Structure 1
């Protein structure tokens, strides 16, 4: 079996790559410096020549690129999985969210992901969409929660964490496993991927401090009140803690 993957310079794709290799799946990396994303013909020809069984579109990029990938994978019979985000839901509202919740973000990133989802659904109805929460790694230098917390501590000397905010989040390894499971074992649909069922952001930061033995100084706040948890009982993913 062969998979193609985009986004290897990002946060999630390298973990999906490792998960695929662990399952003995050959992986082709889309290098945008070598293969254009601006031509529908180039996109189609590259996918056709590579002939993957699975396509994991994890990168950010123009919505037109998403459209080209969706059309090509649909025509060529390649399984497509597109990663979306909890950010499709409005920051002015609150959850929890389930599969019936309607995407309504006013923010640029959320609107971009909504447009991506819609393009995928229009041009490849048999695609998989996984909405992800805030990812948690264990090192700095990446766009995840641990890196954010390390920067907050370094810049401010402390971390403010709300005990009234319940984010959607998962460890990167668990997210990667779930993404591959969905592509291999699930039926085409939109899925909500979240490991956090019970914990506030304040709880999570304290757990991470203990787990990683950091010297974070954590200040509890209650001024930020929101529930961003996503629930989808079809998804099997490890609980956060």
Structure 2
């Protein structure tokens, strides 16, 4: 299949390209320098010329705190950029897969969020990503929406890299213990995305690595696996104020992955082991 990957220079995009090549698909990566997804005419022309079978839409405005200050820019990328791609996909009859986020939920739940649970974003980032979801559902029939969370990979900035750096520099770190979720390794997520796009099993999916932890527990495991002796102090969310409110409970139910016959992603500790080997 001929596949366009947006956000190809990003943490997830790079692993998606590698996975597409591994499975012998024709992959065309685009980043902001090649294609500004916020310009409708450019998107239409580019997609019409390339005529992909699938668009894997990984590009996003992901700076959660900056989005609070500049929701307009976040909306232009996450909302309107996604709309432009959906319109272009519709014109040529291409499938589209859009990467969304746990931030579309408010995090007040106590059970893993199902794909059809009501959405209620806390902040600008979640609102703009949800706008993207709504455009995809409104404009397309051949769509996949994949919500994920706590993403880490070899090619970008992420929590694991930050912890390793701070641990080595300081020997002691403070990490919030009252926000709970599931880490997601980009290599595992990319495999699922490519497996999914090869099917006609359309709809919304939740994809993270298996298992649940707090950021504090994640940090402790990172130092344990890396063989670093670092003191990790548990903090409350209130002790670590940020411009954007974070969902306290970000666990996404992966029931649909199994129900549709896909392979669940490995547990997060094994994913972390694989990641540390990779880097």
Same fold (TM over 0.5): yes
Cα offset for 1:210? 2.3
Cα offset for 1:124? 1.4
Q: Does residue 169 of the first structure (1) align with residue 197 of the second (2)?
A: no
Separation (CA, whole Å) in 1 of partners of 2:236 and 2:45: 53
Cα offset for 1:187? 1.0
Match of 2:4 in 1: 4
Change beyond 3 A, Cα 1:45–1:212: same
In the alignment, is the contact (CA less than 8 A) between 2:104 and 2:121 conserved in 1? yes
Cα offset for 1:158? 2.1
Q: Does residue 239 of the first structure (1) align with residue 271 of the second (2)?
A: no
Q: 1:111-156 CA distances to partner (integer Å, 9 max, x unpaired)? A: 110111111111113210000111123x5x7232212323544676
Secondary structure of the structure 2 residue equivalent to 1:102: coil
Name structure 2 gaps, 5 residues minimum: 61-76, 239-246, 258-263, 270-279
- Among residues 227, 233, 258, which one is paired with 1:213 in the alignment? 227
Match of 1:56 in 2: 56
Cα offset for 1:2? 1.3
Q: How many residues align?
A: 238
Separation (CA, whole Å) in 1 of partners of 2:249 and 2:145: 22
- Among residues 104, 108, 111, which one is paired with 1:88 in the alignment? 104
Could you state the TM-score of these two structures normalised by the residue count of structure 2?
0.76
**Please, what is the CA RMSD of the aligned residues?**
2.4
Change beyond 3 A, Cα 1:216–1:19: farther
* 4+ runs deviating over 4 angstroms: 154-157, 221-225
In the alignment, is the contact (CA less than 8 A) between 2:17 and 2:27 conserved in 1? yes
Please, which moves more after superposition, 20-29 or 190-199? 190-199
Separation (CA, whole Å) in 2 of partners of 1:65 and 1:10: 16
Superposed, 1:105-184 pairs within 5 Å as 105-137=121-153, 142-153=156-167, 157-184=171-198
Separation (CA, whole Å) in 2 of partners of 1:71 and 1:129: 16
Cα offset for 1:38? 4.1
In the alignment, is the contact (CA less than 8 A) between 1:163 and 1:222 conserved in 2? yes
Q: Could you say which structure has the higher helix fraction?
A: 2
Q: Does residue 35 of the first structure (1) align with residue 35 of the second (2)?
A: yes
Match of 1:194 in 2: 208
